[in-house]
Amino acid sequence: MALCVPVQVLSEQFEDVYALPRRNSSTRSGTGIVERFHRQLKVSLRARLAGTDWFHHLPLVLLGLRSVPREDSSVSASEALFGSPLVLPGEFLDTPELPSSEYLRKIQSILKNSTSVLPHHSLPATKPDQIPSSLANCSHVFIREDASKPPLSPLYRGPYLVLSKYPKYFLIEIGSKSDSVSVDRLCTL
């Protein structure tokens, strides 16, 4: 005969044995963890350009989030749960690994040929009478949407043709009209 024990009794015994603090789900620390994960999830889905069909991208995004090592412990959530790292879809292929010197040369050549553009928020402050260097030579720009937008929608729209440049704003062709847009809302390709 099977012994039936209510789940609440088992969870209370588990907490007593392992001395886990009892938390209310509405505490600030619990809410902060949920909010941070929700923010990571939205950024990841937005990076995959998941629009209204975001639920099709959800399994792969969650797999990626759960397999990334944490900064403080360098162990991923899935590795902590299962005791070993997950085998991800890209790891199924049997491709020979490049020797370290050849791999290093390839990475160096890629980095040498690419131009890195800092995100808009981390660009150094420019003089007020000077056009930012990233926008100085561009012919087309993207415009940041500052209005309230539905979840997972793109943050920028464009590209739009630049008609003329001024230190504080650009004159941009949007459709058949020309409009002035603040330099702070512009981003290059």
Backbone phi, psi, residue 147, to 5°: -75, 160
Q: Count CA atoms within 13 Å of residue 27 on its CB side.
A: 8
Cα torsion through 148, 151, 153, 156, rounded to 10: 40
Write down the pTM of the prediction.
0.37
CATH dotted code for 127-187: 2.30.30.140
Ranges of each domain in the chain: 28-91, 127-187
What are 60-105's pLDDT values in tens digits?
Answer: 888 888 888 887 788 888 888 888 888 777 666 666 666 678 878 8
Element counts in the chain: helices (H) and strands (E): 6, 5
What are 21-44's pLDDT values in tens digits?
Answer: 555 555 555 677 788 888 888 888
